[in-house]
Amino acid sequence: MPFLPLPPAMRLAPPLDPRAPAPPPTPRHALLLNPFYPKDPHGSFGKHVLTPALALTGLAAATPSAWTVALWDENLLQGPPPLDPFPALVGITVHLTFAHRAYELARWYRARGALVVLGGPHVQSCPAEAREHADALVFSGGVRVWPRVLADAERGALSAEYQGSYRGPFDEEPVPRRELLPRGSFLTTASLVATRGCSNRCRFCHLATDGLDLPFQARDPARVAAEWAATGEPYAVFLDNNLGAQPEVLRALCRALAPLQGIWSAALSLDVTDDPSLVREMALAGCTGVFVGLETLETENLRAAGKRSPPPSDYARRVRILHDAGIQVNGSFVLGFDADGPDVFERTAEWIEQQRLECATFHILTPYPGTPLYRRLEQEGRLLHRNWELYDTAHVVFRPARMTETQLAEGYAWLYQRLFSPASIWARRPEDPGAVLPYLAMSVLYKKTNRLWPFLIRHRLVGPSWRPLIALSRRRHLAFRRRLALAGTMTRSFRETAPCRAPASPPLS
């Protein structure tokens, strides 16, 4: 079997000793926790350590100087959170799939005298559930209210709820404290956010959660560029929901990034290809890869999901525009829409290989609580259970319309097996012969070494193991960029005389 059973370190949270003694809480010391979650055996075990999320480093930056703060990510396989110094207050980010682990950590710390504050997407969607496990809840953006939370905790007057906001000026938020991260544990610590919000409100997306007020905002491009430069990292990943939501904002950002001579990747929607000149500017600014929510090859599914997107019949042409600019594509597909039958899996695999997508990510349609999709499936009596740990897009949690639950689960596993196979990796190799070797090296390290990932993560060797590939990719892309600039425009004649793709870059999860 190409997919091995999950090793214990990747499926079991580190145990919390119920008898472990704890010293008295240290005044004005906060511990920020990212709880463990089991990894999908069909995907890469290293997916979650490509780049760090910004939620906790953002809170750390908002922590007043009178307080000390520490970060602990259980997914870095360093064991349970440390006890010394024991925190006066623990902040835990709560996502759907690791809500139970977050609550377990909350109980453990509260039993030993620490105050516990919970925030994150699951708190937004299921506040009544979260309230039982916390001294306080924070809704929406927590950075702006975090100093007040700590001040109230220090004077013994912690409120039960704090309402954050995403409406304040984006540029006023502090720069995340990346120095608190173990640099060797990540492919790059230069995870950046230039915009917030998305023009789409797909009915299955967590951004459609009831009560979530997330207007589109953009940061000053010069500030974003300076933040990246300060990290000293040659490769950056933008965590924006849709970096291309407003084309002129993206164009201004590209012009600010271009002088850095680095490489970067981002998530965006396919309509960025409406203007090939913008795609060209992305390439000239260092973009080597994009994560694109293609979602489905069926127009009916897009319409039912409420997603504004180019028609699937035009996907191939638009992917080619990205490829011609040296930008690799990680296509994201959702399986199990009501128009999907058992034939969806083979059709999707064949299309991905025909278009030579360098990477593909698959998700079983998952109804997140608080979204329109969840309400519809609940009303139709199609939800199978509410075991949040299985709402991870890797398990079937509802009854599909045109296939059985078993067919959907097996088709999902088959797609990963096919796309991770040597034959498919070879079929999707770049057209430029000089880019094939780096692409194969990336594919092997990212997709075919699940036995190795726990060792790399535990010993903080993720960064060192990837850096040679990053350096090679950057050198080759700088040369490609020079040729692209000289060519002036992306014409057919250019495609026939220059490599159609830049070298393989680290994948965007």
What global pTM score does this model have? 0.91
pLDDT of residue 211: 62
pLDDT score for 281: 97
Nearest CA-CA partner of 91 in 71, 62, 108: 71
Q: What's the whole-number mean pLDDT along residues 473-483?
A: 92
Cβ neighbours of residue 467 closer than 8 Å, sequence gap 6 or more: none
Is residue 266 over pLDDT 50? Answer: yes
Least confident of 326-335, 447-456, 493-502: 493-502
Model confidence pLDDT, tens digit, residues 57-77: 999 999 999 999 999 999 999
Strands (E), 225-272: 235-238, 263-268
Q: Give the CA distances from residue 218 to residues 230, 252, 388, in Å, rounded to whole numbers and listed in that order.
A: 20, 11, 33
For residue 162, the surrounding DSSP H or E stretch is strand 161-163
Cβ atoms of 460 and 289 within 8 Å: the answer is no
User: Please, which contacts does 170-176 make with residues 24 or more away whose CB atoms are closer than 8 Å?
Assistant: 170/196, 170/217, 170/218, 170/219, 171/219, 171/220, 171/223, 173/58, 173/62, 173/143, 173/144, 174/58, 174/61, 174/62, 174/143, 175/61, 175/227, 175/230, 176/54, 176/57, 176/58, 176/60, 176/61
Q: Percent of the chain beyond pLDDT 70? A: 92
With H, G, I as helix, E, B as strand and everything else as coil, classify residue 163: strand
Give kind and range of the element (H or E) at residue 331. Answer: strand 328-335
Q: How confident is the model at residue 495 (pLDDT cuts 50, 70, 90)?
A: very low
Between these two residues, 137 and 196, which has the higher pLDDT value?
A: 137
**Whether the Cβ atoms of residue 34 and residue 93 lie closer than 8 Å to each other:** yes
Q: Mean pLDDT across the chain, nearest whole number? A: 91
200-239 CB burial, b ≥16 within 10 A, e <16 = bebbbbbbbbeebebebbbbebeebbebbeebebbbbbbb
- For the residues 138-144, what does the mean pLDDT come to? 91
pLDDT at residue number 501: 44
Band (502; pLDDT cuts 50, 70, 90): very low
381 Ramachandran zone, left/alpha/beta (phi>0; psi -120 to 50): left
- For the ranges 213-222, 292-301, 478-487, which has the lowest average pLDDT? 213-222
Q: Is 105 strand, coil or helix?
A: helix
Identify residue 222 by its one-letter amino acid code. A
**Cβ proximity of 184 and 463 under 8 Å:** yes
pLDDT given at position 167 = 82
Domains of the chain and any CATH numbers = 8-170 (3.40.50), 189-497 (3.80.30.20)
**Whether pLDDT at 493 is above 60:** no
* pLDDT of residue 496 exceeding 60: no
What average pLDDT does range 137-143 have in this prediction? 91
**Average pLDDT score over residue span 402-413:** 98
Mean pLDDT of 236-243: 95
Is the confidence at residue 465, as pLDDT, over 60?
yes
In the predicted model, what is the mean pLDDT of residues 71-94? 95
pLDDT value of residue 498? 41
Quick check: 187 pLDDT over 60? yes
pLDDT at 505 over 60: no
Residue 385 in this model has a pLDDT that exceeds 50: yes
Number of residues in the chain = 509
Percent of the chain at pLDDT exceeding 90: 76
Q: What is the pLDDT of residue 206?
A: 61
Inform me whether the pLDDT recorded for 185 exceeds 90: yes
Mean pLDDT score, 281-293: 96
pLDDT tens profile 421-435: 999 999 999 888 878
For the chain, the C-alpha Rg in angstroms (whole number) is 23
Residue 92 and residue 35 in contact, taking contact as beta carbons nearer than 8 Å: yes
